[in-house]
Amino acid sequence: QVQLVESGGRLVQAGDSLRLSCAASGLTFSTYVMGWFRQAPGKEREFLSVIRPSGSLYYADSVKGRFTISRDNAKNTVYLQMNRLKPEDTAIYYCAADPAARVISYFTDPHVYDYWGQGTQVTVSS
C-alpha cells in the first residue's frame, strides 16, 4: 500500500531554517505530483508548494521566496526547505501525492490528492 512518511519537524527559533522530508513507498514516485500543506490549530489545511514529475514548481504567496520544494526520484523523497521561519509557520506539515496530469494550479486544493502522510510538527518560537 502507499505510504508517505514525513520527518524533520521540530522546535526551532524564529529566523532558523529547517528541511522537511517525505519518503514515499508503494507507488511509482517519479510519476506522481507531490505537494506540501500545513495545518495550524483551528485553521484549514493550507497549500504551500507542489512539484510535478516534470519538475515544474508552484508556491503559495505566503511562502514564496522562503520555502523551496524539491524531489529526489532515486530516493522516492520530496523535500521542503524552509528558511527565515516565523512563529506563524507553526503547524503540522503534511505531504501529499497524486497521479493526475492537470495544470499545476489544480494541485493547490488539498481535496484532489489521493494520498497523505501523517504529518510532522513544526514549532517556531519567537
Q: What is the pLDDT of residues 94-110, one digit of tens each?
A: 999 999 888 888 999 99
Closest CA to 35 of 97, 84, 101: 97
**pLDDT number for residue 9:** 98
φ, ψ for residue 104, nearest 5 deg: -60, -30
**pLDDT number for residue 34:** 97
**Residue at grid coordinates 484532489:** 112
Closest CA to 4 of 74, 57, 53, 77: 77
**pLDDT number for residue 125:** 97
User: What would the grid cell of residue 55 be?
Assistant: 519538475
Closest CA to 79 of 8, 29, 2, 16: 8
**pLDDT number for residue 100:** 87
Task: From residue 102, give the alpha-carbon distance in Å to each of 35, 105, 111, 112.
Answer: 13, 8, 14, 11
- Alpha-carbon gap, residue 19 to 12, rounded angstroms: 12
Segments in the chain below pLDDT 50: none
**pLDDT number for residue 101:** 84
**pLDDT number for residue 115:** 97
**pLDDT number for residue 105:** 87
